Structure 1
Amino acid sequence: MPGDSDTGTEVPDLVDPQRLGTQPQTARGQRTRDNLVRAARTVFERDGYVDSRLVDIVAEAKCSIGSFYTWFDSKDEVFAAVLHEAQSDMLHPGTGRIETSDDPVAIIGASNRAYFEAYRRNARLNQLLQQVSAVDPRFREMRRARSAAFVTRNARAISDLQARGLADRQVDPEMAAKALSGMIARLAYDVFVIDDEERVDDLVETATRLWTNALGLTSPELRAD
């Protein structure tokens, strides 16, 4: 979902910070653990979560299974570590600042671009997160909580626009936030995962028009010729 945490809405982490395995106390240990996390991401993205095996991860990392168990107890712990390492890149500026902008349409466009570019960089990992959420209730609940936080944030931004007379006051902010955030997420999945395309400019233009038209916003750049 498009969004960040700059509006006071607390956005949960992608993973439980208590389930990230053992943290190294030495530089050598940190290098070994980092190497395992990189190898795990390669294997997960190549084989999928269900079919990935610890033996493949340690082979990719060129270390022993004993080294793996020094830092992680299980496959789901190393997957959590992969997500934790990637989450700062998977997050992106959203529409949270539109209430303070002179041109909210421009902010929506920039937010959509940041979301699509981040999704494209992490398309396989986003796909994996959906797969794991389907089989692991803990990941599913964290994903649900994050989605709810982003919807709350976007709904607040829409309400602020309505209060300023810049958006259609007949639109329910929460329902609009759910619909528009869901649309953006589905567009990204279809284009970058299903179709394996990279049409970011087309996506940004279309998604921004849909966002602004749905909310009754206009800007000179988006007016028809």
Structure 2
Amino acid sequence: MSGEAGPADAAKTGADAGAAPLTERGARTRARIVAAAREVFEERGFLDTRVAHITRHAKVAYGSFYTYFPSKEAVFLEVADRLFQEMTQHDLLPAAGPSPAARVRRANRGYYEAYRRNAKMMAIIEQVATFNVEFQELRRKHRAGAIGRSAKAIERWQRAGLVDPGIDAEMAARALAAMVDHSLYLWLVQGEDAPDTQRLLDTLDDLTIRALGLQA
């Protein structure tokens, strides 16, 4: 990966195998660096961010950064990993709820709220995804988990006679996730002209419900 090289004796991140456990103070410092990194990435973008920008914003010594992260790429991966965990906890088709259609509506609104909160970082993520292979793999891992859970929900509904058994559950989950995700990206990140939010979400709900043949 390209980027600033850390000191030769920089310690591995706390997440690395064999790393010593962090003290309470160390954990607080690390968390402050991660929080500051996110704010700096959102302000400057990934390419223009330097470790010095992050440490200055976190109010820690420059060398302290390398106690916890070997590079700005490493802290970016941690920021992105946390963001993906928040984003993908809202399954497209959650298991619990009064009815499948109600679950779809609740999930779409949960995902919209998460996307809206993270819109600035989502823009940076799209930038980094074009050239960072390690980051691409991280995004694929989280996306695959969410799609897999949605596919299992479709399969359950197929067994219950609620969805056409001829539908490919995995491909349906992928296609529906892409529709929702890209629609929100254009709306919240690109600022593309669109109907009001409620109309957009209602339409995404209707398209998902009708695609699966669910009772509204």
User: What TM-score bracket applies, with the shorter chain setting the length?
Assistant: 0.7 to 0.9
What is the TM-score with the length of structure 2 in the denominator?
A: 0.81
The answer on whether the counterparts of 1:92 and 1:111 sit within 8 Å (CA) in structure 2 is no
For structure 2, the 5+ residue unaligned runs are: 1-12
1:17–1:212 CA distance, 2 compared to 1 (3 A): farther
Q: Secondary structure at the match of 1:66?
A: helix
Q: Tell whether 2:45 aligns with 1:70.
A: no
What is the TM-score with the length of structure 1 in the denominator?
A: 0.78
The percent identity for this pair of structures is 38
Q: Secondary structure at the match of 2:144?
A: helix
The answer on whether the counterparts of 1:58 and 1:64 sit within 8 Å (CA) in structure 2 is yes
In structure 2, the partner of 1:4 is none
The answer on whether the counterparts of 1:41 and 1:79 sit within 8 Å (CA) in structure 2 is yes
In structure 2, the partner of 1:5 is none
Aligned ranges 1:144-155 → 2 under 5 Å:
144-155=140-151
In structure 2, the partner of 1:11 is none
In structure 1, the partner of 2:182 is 186
1:75 maps to a residue whose letter is K
The answer on whether the counterparts of 2:94 and 2:107 sit within 8 Å (CA) in structure 1 is no
Q: Tell whether 2:51 aligns with 1:54.
A: yes
The answer on whether the counterparts of 1:23 and 1:71 sit within 8 Å (CA) in structure 2 is no
The answer on whether the counterparts of 2:77 and 2:135 sit within 8 Å (CA) in structure 1 is no
In structure 1, the partner of 2:158 is 162
Q: Identify the match of residue 138 of structure 2 among 132, 142, 160.
A: 142
Distance 2:93 2:72 in 1: 35
For structure 1, the 5+ residue unaligned runs are: 1-15, 220-225
Offset at 1:101?
A: 4.7
Distance 2:84 2:20 in 1: 18
2:175 maps to a residue whose letter is A
Q: Secondary structure at the match of 1:57?
A: helix
- Listed one character per residue, the Cα deviations across residues 176-209 of structure 1 (whole Å, up to 9, x for unaligned) are 1121111011011111100189954333211110
1:129–1:194 CA distance, 2 compared to 1 (3 A): same
